[in-house]
Amino acid sequence: MAPRVSDLIAYPGLRLTVHATAHRLDAPIRWVATSEHLDPTPFLDGGELLLTTGMLIPADEAQAQAYADRLARAGVVALGLGVGLVHDVMPSSLIRAAERAGLLLLEVPQAIPFIAVTKAMSDLVAKEQYAETVRISQMQRELVRAAARDGPAGVVRSTARLSGGWVLLLDRDLVVQQAHPQRASERAAELREELARLGRGGPAASSIVERDESISINTLATVNRTHAYLAVGLPRRPDGVDRALLSMSTSILSVALARPAGSSQRADEYRRTAALIRVVRALATVDQDLLTDLGGPLFGHPEIVVAVVTGGRRDLDGLCLALKDQLFDDCLVTRVDQQVTAIVAGGVASAAKEQIARFQSLRAGVSLPATPSALAQALDDAERSCTRAVTLDIPVVTPSGGTASVFSIADPGQAVAFAERLLAPLTDYEQRTGNDLVESLDAWLRHHGRFEPAAAELGLHRHTLADRVKRAEKLIGNLLDDVDARMGLWFALRTRGTYRPASSGRGPGHGELVRPSAWPPEAQSTR
């Protein structure tokens, strides 16, 4: 919610005075603008406090009225006139015009620079945003506790109380399951047409605005199956907090409703874990307490690891069973079509990788260890790594470190194609002559383009190495004194796996030549 005029007036040190329409002090202000134009409306967006010294404000009553009316029509909330420069006191004609236009009129003392008003507004906006974040976090905790204590009924009651509106929960057949307050069930009839439209494969959500009421309808689904609808009516247009509340309620109800009658224990866990992942992706921040409430003791561990696995259906089924048999409560698993997502405790990540490696058809991406609150990032990392594993036919891909590199964002197929294209002339030259220029370029690049240490490592004279670099330049068509050309060559060598830093004790800046190796350079295989 934006700060109000009354908040700005009460801000310490500003000493603003109200001259017109004092009854509108509760009006929200979006920002502060400054203009001396007689018609500044083309430069405004609505919701502003407009500051001016009044340099061009006419003294004529009719023209002053036209000025105030223009601002009011443009959505300006308040006009702040700085006295002491052009006007010693607030013009009475402007006061009357602002009152008739319904425009708040504020006097800014000469000793208060306009920038002080802008800074005060910035401070109020920051405080409002922080308060909004705290409120959303408190709502999140209350909804989770309500779900744990009273199930869907508790979530519906809490959502209605927190929003100040009414809430309906309907099943797939549009039968009301929960309503709060109870009389809200009477609204179901008027929503049936819109609910039926969503149920026929329409959008996942819908919004209806009527007079002073706004109604939001969301589908509740897990594993791509809609099984209920949530309708929330508010006596106002929803703001950021309202939208966050609706998102949280929808996600948490999806978890609370994830146990259909007669389902198997394994299918039930799949649905719950899939719903948990939806909650994590829907919420801006997720703390460890919330994860423990939703996901159980697994999230009591200091670190978790995510594996995303794809492959043959039979092997995926076998992997799910193996993970649960071996890891018990240290593992959550969900299966959607031909993809398995497993969340495991950090201490058993190696065991999980061993189970994945047992199945020949599977390709997996495994995240780095992360705190439970970083689960969303771990899910993203594992999914990207799984894509690379499939593209390059590597059993398991794991990022090499906690810091991002160009290889973590590059498309593997395009990167490999680029490397093969750039290095093809060097490969052809080696096949024709038996002379390997790649090794020389590798050493030269690792020594930052310095010939003496690179030649010493290779056991060559520096002039011999210089000749080889020049020959390579002619073959690839790039002058390697250009930083972009060097970067491209380095990227190609790393992508093709021609060079990989040595783990031996040969000293910093040295490496070993390896052929072949798979993309990405940091990829690790468990086989």
Residues 6+ apart with CB under 8 A from 426: 437, 438, 441, 472, 475, 476
Q: Is the pLDDT of residue 361 over 60?
A: yes
Tell me, what's the pLDDT at 63?
92
Tell me, what's the pLDDT at 411?
65
pTM exceeds cut of 0.85: no
Tell me, what's the pLDDT at 211?
72
Q: Binning pLDDT at 50, 70 and 90, where does residue 455 land?
A: confident
Tell me, what's the pLDDT at 393?
80
pLDDT tens-digit map of 59-93: 889 999 999 999 999 999 999 999 988 999 999 99
Q: How is the chain split among helix, strand and coil, in percent rounded to 5?
A: 50, 20, 30
Q: How many helices and strands, by DSSP H and E, does the chain display?
A: 17, 17
Query: What is the b/e burial string over 73-95, where b = at least 16 CB atoms within 10 angstroms of the residue's CB?
Result: ebebbbbbbbbeeebeebbebbb
Of 177-186, 392-401, 485-494, give the lowest mean pLDDT range. Answer: 392-401
Tell me, what's the pLDDT at 407?
56
Q: For residues 284 and 149, which has the higher predicted lDDT (pLDDT)? A: 149
Q: Is the pLDDT of residue 392 over 80?
A: no
Phi, psi at residue 89, to the nearest 5°? -135, 165
Tell me, what's the pLDDT at 226?
66
Tell me, what's the pLDDT at 92?
92
Show the tokens assigned to 471.
Answer: 């020959």
Tell me, what's the pLDDT at 268?
67
pLDDT over 90 percentage in the chain? 29
How far is Cα 211 from Cα 138, in angstroms, rounded to an integer?
A: 30
Tell me, what's the pLDDT at 456?
86
Q: Binning pLDDT at 50, 70 and 90, where does residue 504 land?
A: very low
Tell me, what's the pLDDT at 308?
94
Q: Is the pLDDT of residue 261 over 60?
A: no
Where in 348-397 does DSSP place strands (E)?
363-366, 396-397
Q: Binning pLDDT at 50, 70 and 90, where does residue 372 land?
A: confident
Mean pLDDT, rounded, for 421-430: 87
Crossing angle of helices 114-163/240-256, nearest 10°?
Answer: 30
Mean pLDDT, rounded, for 371-397: 84
**Unique residue bearing structure tokens 């390697």:** 480
Q: Is the pLDDT of residue 508 over 60?
A: no
Q: Work out the burial of residue 200: count CB atoms within 10 Å of its CB; fewer than 13 is exposed, 13-18 middle, 19 or more buried.
A: exposed
pLDDT over 70 percentage in the chain? 86
Using alpha carbons only, give the angle 198, 202, 203 rounded to the nearest 5 degrees.
90
Tell me, what's the pLDDT at 427?
87
Tell me, what's the pLDDT at 522?
46
Q: What is the mean pLDDT of the chain?
A: 82
Mean pLDDT, rounded, for 400-426: 68
